[in-house]
Structure formats: structure tokens, C-alpha cells
Amino acid sequence: MAEQQVERKAVEVAAGILIRKDGTILMGSRPEGKPYAGYWEFPGGKFEPGETAHEALARELREELDLDIGASTPWLVKVIDYPHARVRLHFRKCHDWKGEPRSMEHQQFGFYHRARLPAGELLPMDDLIAGWIELPRVAAWIPQKGGDIEARVVRAKEAGAGLIWVEGEKPVSSDSGWTGSFARSEAEVSLAAANRADFSFIRKGVTGLGEEHEIPVYLPAESASEAAAAEEAGAQGVWLEF
């Protein structure tokens, strides 16, 4: 009889995406003696009993880096099976903190652009996440029906859209390698993630989504000014139809 494989219980971990106005992100190098030593990662750590993701992140950053964060917003959740553990990572964005990172555990920390780390490389999952951070907050959907597509692309850019997706074509932004999808539910977002999509546009009229997703999502909106509220709700931003 084949031995039944038991799924390992996931360790809940909070990971902070602390972003400065210049677009640099706080990252740390894993110390010697830990798995994947020398790789870079986002700061954070395990939940303690009864903690929320924000509370765990705030405590870890205070203990590890002597940083006091203000608000953080939910963004992504990813489950990873490492050889040493199964981990559920809760990634949260933060733009508000006090102090400068001061390693309390003899690790190297700093604010860097993804492609400009001083040495080494990001953990594979963190590298993927760092790429998604570069997705713009405002995106545009341009269906084939509706008249002059070029004119609507111009209007979308004037409205602040940093990503343009014309029906039947690939999404285009400063990084044109993105792959997108439309989703009506969290299950469809997860399916898009399994198919290696980089983001999902949530269809109009959909309600009841959670705050954490496997890939970045955009909520439907009428104006780019709604992007901040969408981010607070766990989205990457908003998509507008032109």
C-alpha cells in the first residue's frame, strides 16, 4: 500500500514591503547559519499566537531593525514549500515608519532597487514579488469595440494609466513583459496565478473578495483618484476602461 503523504502545516510569516518615495525597497541579507544564507529578502518574521499580520510585522521590525511602522496594507499571500518548512507569507506594504533600519541581529539591511543589490541575489519568491511591486497603480483596459484605439490609448495615458491593456494584445507598460487576466472570484485569481499571470483585473460588479491575493489585483474604478483606497483594500491599484 502506498504511503499517504501528509501535508505539512504552514508556518505563518509576515513580510514587509517598506517603500521609500524614490522607489527603493527595504531588504536584508540572510546571515550565515540560516537556510539560504547570503540571499536577500524582505524583512519580517513568524506570527506569535494571537497576532494579526500587521502586529507580527510591526513587532518583528521593531525587534530586528529598531523601526516603528505606522499603517501597513495587505497585499499578497504566498505559500512556499521549502525543504526545511512550509511557509505562508503575508506580504504587506508600508510607506510610513519612524527611524532608520539598524540591524539588531548583525544582518546587512538597506533600501535598494531590485536590480541594484550590493552583492548576491534575492530569494526566488522575493525576486518575483519585487518585480510585481513595479506594477503601476493605475491601469487601463481598452476593448476593441469603441472606436479609435490610438486616441483611447492617449486618453488613458493622460488619465495617469501606467499600464495599457488593449483587448487581444499584451499589456504594455515601462516593463512590457507582464501577463494579465480577468477574474470574477478569488478562485479565478488563484487560477491566474497557477497559469503564471502577473496580475488580475477584477471584473465590474464583483464583491466579497479577500484582502490578500496570490498575485496583484486591480479593482474597477471610474477615476485614477480611487487608487489609494484600492491599495488600502489590498489591491495593487485600479483599472479604468476607455
How far CA 24 is from CA of 21, 83, 117, 150, in Å, comes to: 7, 31, 11, 33
In the predicted model, is pLDDT for residue 178 greater than 70? yes
User: Residue 33 has which C-alpha cell?
Assistant: 547559519
Q: What is the pLDDT of residue 5?
A: 58
Most confident of 25-34, 46-55, 207-216: 46-55
**148 Cβ contact list (under 8 Å, min separation 6):** none
pLDDT reported for residue 175: 62
Taken in order of first residue, the domains within the chain and their CATH numbers are 11-123 (3.90.79.10), 138-241 (no CATH)
Span 25-49, mean pLDDT? Answer: 90
Query: Rounded CA gap, 165 and 63, in Å?
Result: 43
Q: What local confidence, expressed as pLDDT, does residue 124 receive? A: 85
Looking at the predicted structure, is the pLDDT value of residue 1 above 50? no
Is the pLDDT at 211 greater than 60? The verdict is: yes
**Which set of grid coordinates corresponds to residue 48?**
506569535
Q: What is the rounded average pLDDT of the residues 99-121? A: 83
The whole model's pTM is what? Answer: 0.89
